[in-house]
Amino acid sequence: MDLQGLNVSSGFVDTHIHGLHGMDTLDGTSDSILGMSKSLIQYGVTSFCPTLYPQDDKIFLNSIRNVVNAMGHEEGAKILGMHLEGPFISRSQTGVQLPQYMREVDLELMQKYWDASEGIISIMTVAPELKGMRSLALYCRKKGIVLSAGHSNASYDNMREGMEAGIVHSTHFFNAMRALHHRDPGVVGAIMIHPEVSCEIIGDGVHVHPALIKLLLSVKPKDKILLVTDSLRPTGQKEGDLYANNEKVYLKDGIFYRVSDDVIAGSSLTMNRGIKNLMDMGIDKSLAIQMATKNPSLVLNKQNELGSLIPGKAADIAVFDDNLNIEYTIVNGNILYSSRSQS
């Protein structure tokens, strides 16, 4: 193909996404997961981890099964596994999650999640300070689940204990976690101090100030920072009322806010726009793309399959112009999206 000067990279990998185009991981059907798969390719995403909020046990288990039932039937971006954002997280760092569904560590319940998932839980967000976390960490390490610190009020010492037990990643860094203090580095300080811990960044310029993203890049290894969207059901939705996590929201400057109290509910980011935002902050284009491709593959331990354009890896490719408008998305060597066929 003569791409006439366009940019070509490995397809984008989103490890933290709840929904878009009016579909959500908690809709209660596999069709919504498959719809997300088809919608994501227009943003250059070739693989993703559907991400679940804590809910009532019956709903949560059903949502896990829906991801399992969708996997292998995708007509767009591939499902790499799921990301459970809880429920073993802190009620003092809820964000917009509902505290009544947050739980103390329960290995019997965790086994139910694992059984329902048929072994495809890839990432789990946990609060390292919770009692029983070491046992949970050891369980998850045996299952190959990446444990990620998030929605946490952990002290620095709690974080060190968690990292020793196997917490190697962090969820939407800086957001919904104990902040840096000069007498208590907290969750934020621990992650910045310890180079082995990777972290997600929501690259919309609001969830994390651009100056802090630059600071993070100066102290963390470049392969430890991942771009994620954390996008919600109404992202890209063209009509109708907007709802996220079953609460009515409104969109302002690219961010969803709860109608009830004007609290930030989440992002309307897409991966291609996130890369462009990072570039607009002064981050080199190749590094911004790495944060959306290679780095997620490393966290998921799928670097031999995804994340770079090397013979032997999946032919997952994004083609885009200098403004990150997607021209083609190729999954497993097949052109699944072309902007020219959409116009």
Pair of tokens at residue 287: 């590094």
Give the number of C-alpha atoms closer than 13 A to the C-alpha of residue 195, restricted to the C-beta side. 7
Give the number of C-alpha atoms closer than 13 A to the C-alpha of residue 70, restricted to the C-beta side. 30
Sequence length of the chain is 343
Q: Spell out the residues 6+ positions from residue 323 whose beta carbon is closer than 8 angstroms to its own.
A: 276
DSSP element (H, E) containing 9: strand 7-10
DSSP 152: B
Q: Tell me how many degrees the CA angle 224-165-302 measures, rounded to the nearest 5.
A: 40
Q: Which of 230, 253, 284, 321 is catalytic?
A: 230
Task: Identify whether 230 is a catalytic site residue.
Answer: yes
For tokens 């103390």, the residue is 104
DSSP element (H, E) containing 202: strand 199-202
Burial (Cβ within 10 Å: 0-12, 13-18, ≥19) of residue 309: middle
Burial (Cβ within 10 Å: 0-12, 13-18, ≥19) of residue 250: middle
- Alpha helices in the chain, H assignment, sequence order: 30-40, 57-70, 107-117, 133-143, 156-165, 186-193, 210-219, 271-280, 285-290, 294-299, 339-342
Q: Is the dihedral angle over the CA atoms 306, 4, 289, 77 positive or is it negative? A: negative
Q: How many helices (H) and strands (E) does the chain have?
A: 11, 19
Active site residues: 230
